[in-house]
Structure 1
C-alpha cells in the first residue's frame, strides 16, 4: 500500500546524495499539481537533519523550513544575500580605510599635537631665586651651563663659588660664558679665576645675550626682568625640549668665545686702577687724536705723555697702543 501511495520511489530521501534527494522531493511535490502545504511540511519533516542542513545552506527551503524552493528562487535568494553582504563589507572596508588614512596622517604630520606641559616657576625676588637654585644645583648630576652678563656683589659671589665647587666635586661638568664687561671687577675676576683653577671651563665673549643657567639640559633658569642681569623676573622652565633650544643658544655664543685667562682678569683689575688722566688719554686715543694733540689737551710734555701711555699699556696688559685701545673698548672704558 505504501508503495502504491508513493509511486515515485520506494525509499525516503537521505543525505548520501543530497542533490538526488532534493530533486526527488521537488519532483514529487511538483507532480502533485498543487502545492499542498501540509503534505510539503510532512515531506520536509521526514528528511534527515543532515539533509535539512544542506537544503537550508543552499536556500532550497524557506527560512521556516516548511516550503521547498526551486533552484531559480534559491539562486536569487543567495545572490541577494551575497549582494547585501558585499555592500556591508564594502562599507566596513571604507570605514576601516578612512581610519587607516587618519592614522597615517597623524603619523606623518608635524607633532604639534603632541604638546608637552611645561612646569614654570616665576620669582620677582632674586634672593628667593638663589635659594631655589641652591636646591636645584644640589641634585644636578651631569652638566651645568651658565651665561653671565654681570655678577652680583662679592658676598653673593663667595656663596655661589662654594656651591659651584660642591657641584664640580660631584662630577658635574661646568661651563661658564661671561661678557667682557662682567669681568671688570676684582670680585668677578677672582671668582672666575677660582672656577678656572678648579676645572670649570670659562670663556669670555664681547657680549652675551642672556643671564641664564641650564642644568642637566632639562631645566633652564633665566633672568627675564627689567634689571641689567634680568632682575625682577626670574623664570625657571622644567622641560628637556625647551632646554635643548636654549642649549643651542648657549653653544652659538660659546663656540666663538675666547678662553678666560688670568691676563684677562688682570686687565679687569688694572682697568679699575686707571687714573682719570689715563682714562682721558684712552678716550683721546679712541678718537684718533695724535700725540701732539693729546699732549696739548693735557698740557703735558711729549715725555710725560709717553710715560702715561706706557703705564696704560702695562695696566691693561697690552703690548702696543693699538692693543691698549682694543682692550679699553672691550672693557667698556671708551665708547
Structure 2
C-alpha cells in the first residue's frame, strides 16, 4: 500500500506490527511475521532511515514507531522537496540544452542554409513521404530507375498515390523501359494512368528522384547504396536543378501507351532508343554488367541485344559493330 512512498511491503508489515506492539523485540517480530531475524533487522534499519522509527525516551537503546500522521507526512514532504529539486534541475537542463543547440547552430550555419534533412531507414523515409504526399497541392514529379520495382515499394506507394490522385494532384512519373517487362510494375503504371497519372518510360534515367510541388525534393544519399538513406531538401537552387533534370528526362521519354521499340522514322533499319543507349554505354567503355545496371536489365538481356545488333550490322566483333553503328549514325 505504501510502496509509492518508497516503503516496501515487508518493511510496511514490520512498521504496522511495531505500531500495534511497540514493545516487540526482533525475535518476537520475526515469529509474528514469519520472517528471519536478519530480514526484520534490515526492515528496522530501513524504517529508521525513513524516520518512521526513532529512539525511545522510555527505554534507552530501543526504537519506537513514529505515528503515521507524523512519519508518513514527513516522507511526503521530503518527496515533494526532492521533486521540486528535480524540477529545478530539469528546468536548468532545458536552458542548457537550448544554449547548446543555439551555439551549435552558430558553428554550423550551413545546416539551415541547406534546408536538408537526412532520412535513415525505410520507416523514416516512408514517414516523410507520407507527410509530403499528404501536403501536396499541385503535383509530384518522380523518376523510378531500376526497371522492376519491388513489391514492398509498390505496396507502400499505392495508398499514397491513390489518395493524391483522388484529390486531383498530378502524378508525373518516368520509369525505365525495362519496367515494361515486369508484370507487377507495368500493372501499377497502368493503374496510375487509369486514375489520371501521367507515365512515360526511357531506356536510361537518372537516379531515383521525387519532387513535391517543385518545392521539396527527396533523393538517395548514395544511389549505389540505398541503406545509407535519403536526403530531403527544400533548398531552392537544388530543387530547381532537379526539376530541370526531370523535365529533360520527361521530354525524351516515351508515353506508356507507345511501343518504346519503335524504329527511327528516317531509316528503315533504324534502332530503338534502348538499343541506341546500349551501344552508347558499351562504346563509352562500360562492361555488359554495368550497362545492364544503367538500363535496368539483366546481363543476359544485354548480351542477347548486343548479339542481335551485331547480326544486323553484319559485324564479327564488337569493335567492328561500333564502327558500322557510327557509320550509320546510330551513335
- Please say whether Structure 1 and Structure 2 have the same fold, judged by a TM-score greater than 0.5: no
Task: Place the TM-score, normalised by the shorter chain, in its bin.
Answer: 0.3 to 0.5
**TM-score when scaled to structure 2?**
0.44
| Greater Rg over alpha carbons, structure | 1
**TM-score when scaled to structure 1?**
0.44
